[in-house]
Amino acid sequence: MELTKDSYSIGEVAKLFNLSVPTLRYYDQEGLIPGLKKDSTGKRIFNLQNIDAVQMIECLKEVKMPLKDIKRFMKWNMEGDSTLDKRLTLFNNLDKQVSEQIKQLSIILKVINYKQRYYQQAIEDGTEKYVSQNKTLLNEIMKS
């Protein structure tokens, strides 16, 4: 996403991330968006750093990090250099977790690809009869 302005309304940010406005309000109330300002009428005004924070929240949510842990990470960011080691440890652990997920997804993808080839051949033959004679066990596919 290309951001061309210095500030954005809550509605614009909601659209950018496909989030609801109440979700962004909740993030703000929970202290997850450091430095978020309000205008004279009380409307939230998001700058590029706030948008970066929302992007980080959404990234961490994608790896199933609980909101309480995201909140702790955001707090560490605000605390500055004294928490650098904690933040590095967090991302080292996330790297291991995501790498394992990728490994598992890679295995699942092999099965999906096998089934695509299997059914494509069955369609070309007009029957499963021939392709099923050469069927590979899923366990073998997952090991390869």
| Distance in angstroms (rounded) separating the CA atoms of residues 90 and 135 | 44
Contact 87, 76 (CB under 8 A): yes
Per-residue pLDDT reduced to its tens digit, 99-142? 999 999 999 999 999 899 889 988 998 998 877 777 776 677 77
Per-residue pLDDT reduced to its tens digit, 42-96? 999 999 999 999 999 999 999 999 999 999 999 999 999 999 999 999 999 999 9
- β-bridge pairing 44-47 and 7-9: antiparallel
Q: What is the pLDDT of residue 1?
A: 61
Q: Is 46 helix (H, G, I), strand (E, B) or coil?
A: strand
Q: 13 burial class (0-12, 13-18, 19+ CB within 10 angstroms)?
A: buried
| pTM, to two decimals | 0.78
- β-bridge pairing 7-9 and 37-38: unpaired
